[in-house]
Amino acid sequence: MRSSQTETAVLGGLSVEPMTGYALREAIREVLGHFWSESFGQIYPSLAELERKGHVRRLGSARTGASTFAITPAGMTRLKELLAQPLQQVPPRNGLMLRLFFGRHLGPEACRSLVRQARAEAESRLSQYEAIYQDVMNEDDRTGDRPYWLLTISAGQHAARAAVAWADEALAALDQLDQPAPAASESRRKI
Amino acid sequence: MRSSQTETAVLGGLSVEPMTGYALREAIREVLGHFWSESFGQIYPSLAELERKGHVRRLGSARTGASTFAITPAGMTRLKELLAQPLQQVPPRNGLMLRLFFGRHLGPEACRSLVRQARAEAESRLSQYEAIYQDVMNEDDRTGDRPYWLLTISAGQHAARAAVAWADEALAALDQLDQPAPAASESRRKI
DNA sequence: GCCCGCATGTAACTGGTTACATGATTGT
DNA sequence: ACAATCATGTAACCAGTTACATGCGGGC
């Protein structure tokens, strides 16, 4: 059985509007991209199985090949069921933290470089969220989904702002490592 | 070839002190647990291959079975090499966000429940970080590693605090969905 | 006529977890 | 003696990505 997580994403996507498998993947990349991803290798088999189970149906096989999928009432029921399932948490694997944890073997400068990179990525995410926020506010249909979508954008923003704040603190701490703490008195040494 | 990520974690762990495979896993769970995980199915094959390549060596096979591994100079070189490698970012898969994004089909109350759960987990992480922080400060050997370990703890704290702040905001927003916004004038309606 | 973007699908591989089989050591 | 914990290892399975094979339609 294909992962229920992919099933959720596919059914969820089609609950917004009917699409082809290709468009579904684009939509997931562009809209859910900051917290979800799916590849063709997942989407197509998943769509095939969902069709077999009657949770989606194929519309307009007009030109051979391309076909648009729509969610069925049974699919909506299934989606609600899937959304209500308890979230299985994935074992964490944060490459940046792994490197910093053993940062002693890397040295302060290499660590600073890693942290700077992380900071830049967080800043970039912040501006992306700003753009997505505007997009969501400008879509006048789909107002029923809007508050929920804003929730996820807000989560991204909080996380990114935290990353930036942490990075600044970390950079300061790493600087301290190069110039070890001066003694309490006689804090400034003449050359 | 076993993942270089597991290799990094194993070599890194042994760079702190020699251990058995079992102890290595415990150490990873307890110390790196909040941002890294490894299972026996990864650790043992990885140790075997590292031994074959001369990056770790087996100490004291005193009693049959249990053997302690130590990192070799070649292993230290390899570790530094691995730590310097660019970080490959993993495609995001955040189950909570996926559910909230399609929260319209779940309804405000179920979403609040999810957010409350996330908030509680973040709070719990915060108190764990506090405990780990104390542990790290109390270890008087390993002072060379300390500043780096503190960096990762701090990252966890920033992230957890952000999660709590977001959750509070999200709960307020979800409450608004139940009692839709009153009109600008005549803000309070008599029964 | 040809390239690019849309579109579908499959096969191979990879990174990883889980479950199982096995046995030594220690404490009660 | 027996249970709990330490310890090692393997086999089966799983989710997911990547790469590949294929073809249609439209614009230059």
Protein footprint on strand D: which nucleotides are under 7 Å from a CB?
A: 6-12, 14-20, 23-25
Nearest-nucleotide field for A2 (CA, C1'): D15
Higher pLDDT: B45 or A1? It is: B45
B38 CA vs C6 C1’ separation (Å): 41
Which residues, in sequence order, are bridge partners of residue B69? B19, B58
Of all protein residues, which has its CA closest to the C1' atom of C20? B41
Mean pLDDT across A57-72: 81
Protein footprint on strand C: which nucleotides are under 7 Å from a CB?
A: 6-12, 14-20, 23-25
- Identify all chain B residues contacting A162, using CB atoms and an 8 Å cutoff: 158-159, 161-162
Top residue of B8, B78, B79, B101 to mutate, by most chain A CBs within 10 Å, is B101
Q: How far is B99 from chain A (nearest CA, A)?
A: 6
Largest Cα–Cα distance of chain A, in whole Å?
83
Q: What is the pLDDT of residue B186?
A: 61
DSSP, res A9: H
Which CA distances in Å does A32 have to A13, A69, A136, B31, B106?
10, 19, 12, 32, 18
Please count the residue pairs, one from chain A and one from chain B, whose beta carbons lie less than 8 angstroms apart.
190
Residue B61 pLDDT level (bands cut at 50, 70, 90): low
B191 has pLDDT over 60: no
Chain B contact for A168 (CB, 8 A cutoff): no
3-state SS string over chain B? CCCHHHHHHHHHHHHHCCECHHHHHHHHHHCCCCCCCCCHHHHHHHHHHHHHCCCEEEECCCCCCCCEEEECHHHHHHHHHHHHCCCCCCCCCCHHHHHHHCHHHCCHHHHHHHHHHHHHHHHHHHHHHHHHHHHHHHCCCCCCCHHHHHHHHHHHHHHHHHHHHHHHHHHHHHHHHHCCCCCCCCCCCCC
Contact B68, B20 (CB under 8 A): yes
Q: How many CB atoms lie within 10 A of CB A98?
A: 21
Interacting residues of A29 by C-beta distance below 8 A, sequence separation 6+: A37
Residue the block writes with tokens 């997580």: A5
B142 CA vs D19 C1’ separation (Å): 46
Chain A contact for B14 (CB, 8 A cutoff): no
A155 has pLDDT over 90: yes
Per-residue pLDDT tens over the stretch A46-55: 999 999 999 9
CATH code that applies to domain A2-84? 1.10.10.10
For chain A, the structural domain boundaries read 2-84, 95-177
Burial letters B92-125, b for 16+ CB under 10 A, else e? ebbbbbbbbbbbbbbbbebbbebbeebbebbeeb
Nearest-nucleotide field for B2 (CA, C1'): C15
Q: What is the pLDDT of residue B157?
A: 98
Chain A contact for B120 (CB, 8 A cutoff): no
Contact B150, B136 (CB under 8 A): yes
Express as a percent the part of chain A with pLDDT over 70. Answer: 90
Contact B56, B50 (CB under 8 A): yes
Angle between helices B4-16 and B40-52 (to 10 degrees): 80
- Identify all chain B residues contacting A148, using CB atoms and an 8 Å cutoff: 100-104, 111
Chain A from 48 to 87: CB within 8 A of any B CB? 76, 79-80, 83-84, 87
